[in-house]
Amino acid sequence: MADVKLIGSPLSPYVLRAILALSLKKVEYELLEEKFGEKSELLLKSNPIYKKIPVLIHHDRPICESAVIVEYIDEVWPESGFGAILPADAYHRALHRFWTYYVDDKWFPSLVAIGKAETEEAKAEAVERVRAGLLLLEEAFVKLSEGKAFFGGDRVAFLDVMFGCFVNWIVAAEELVSVELLDEATVPALHGWAVRFREHEAVKEVMPDSGRVLGFLKILQAKWKADAAAAKKKL
């Protein structure tokens, strides 16, 4: 019986964060995949507040929220695998946490808005917001990487995981709406980082390819469209 369980599917970028962290630490775990559209008894019991994935279960105790889970994994297995995920000094930790907050608060919702957009104008607006966000993240990368490969410098660190979980979502969105987002001309540093991140030993083993993500994104898009139509009918 596995001591470490993770409830969720790698197609969820938030679950992928936990998977990436466990992969970086080379920690063995049991993945309990949820069926899309259904919530298992275990999920409802382990995360009664939000009823959402991911949930990490360690020594039979649940830990919820992807950022909380990744920090937990880092603290419980500090030296394992590729070593520390959170940077060593307080200031860099603050910067990684701040940009993670920004990604969750502003950037990813703008990427989702591309998929939810019902008109060409809405789509174009959403694309512009995503691009503006990527420019900010490009600046952050240049500052944090200090000329090295990752947000963590030589090593994959917290922000690499918390933002890197979206790299194939960006590719899928690009294909979905035929626009370039993470292109070499406008965001060269991030473009290079994304390539290197995908190639990292701990990442390529676990990251779903953009084809799979695109397939999932299309299912989500259909669901969003249906939800929006149902909501309009109610008005």
Partner 1 sequence: MYSATGINCTPMAGAVVEDVKVLGLPLIPFVIRVLIALRLKRVEYELVEVQIAEPKSEILVKSNPVYKKIPVLLHRGKSICESAVIVQYIDEEWSDGSGSSSILPADPFDRALVRFWAAYIDDKLPAPVRALRWGTEAEKAAELAGQIRQALGLLEEAFVECGKGKGFFGGDAVGYLDIALGSCLGWIRALEKAKSVKLLDAEKLPRLTGWAERFLAEESVKGLVPDADEYQKFYAAAEARTSATPAA
Binding partner 1 (rule: CB under 8 A), the pick from 31, 39, 72, 82 is: 72
Nearer to partner 1, 91 or 231 (CB): 91
Between CA 233 and CA 119 the distance in angstroms is 18
Q: Which of residues 116-145 bind partner 1 (CB under 8 A)?
A: 136
Backbone angles phi, psi at 65, to 5 degrees: 80, 120
Quote the tokens at residue 115: 């998929």
DSSP state of 62: E
Nearer to partner 1, 61 or 233 (CB): 61
Site size toward partner 1 (CB under 8 A) is 22
Nearer to partner 1, 70 or 213 (CB): 70
Q: Is 183 in the site for partner 1 (CB under 8 A)?
A: no
Between CA 214 and CA 177 the distance in angstroms is 11
- Of 91-99, 115-123, 164-172, 198-206: span binding partner 1 (CB under 8 A): 91-99
Q: Is 63 in the site for partner 1 (CB under 8 A)?
A: yes
Non-local (6+) Cβ contacts of 1 within 8 A are none
Between CA 108 and CA 163 the distance in angstroms is 9
Nearer to partner 1, 105 or 199 (CB): 105
Between CA 107 and CA 186 the distance in angstroms is 17
Tell me whether the omega of the peptide bond preceding residue 10 falls within 30 degrees of 0, making it cis.
Answer: no
Q: Is the dihedral of CA 127, 216, 189, 67 positive or negative?
A: positive
Q: Which of residues 101-120 bind partner 1 (CB under 8 A)?
A: 101-102
User: Would you give the binding string for partner 1 spanning residues 16-55, x where CB under 8 A is met?
Assistant: ---------------------------------x------
Enumerate binding residues for partner 1 (CB under 8 A).
Answer: 49, 58, 61, 63-65, 67-69, 71-72, 75-76, 90-91, 93-94, 97-98, 101-102, 136
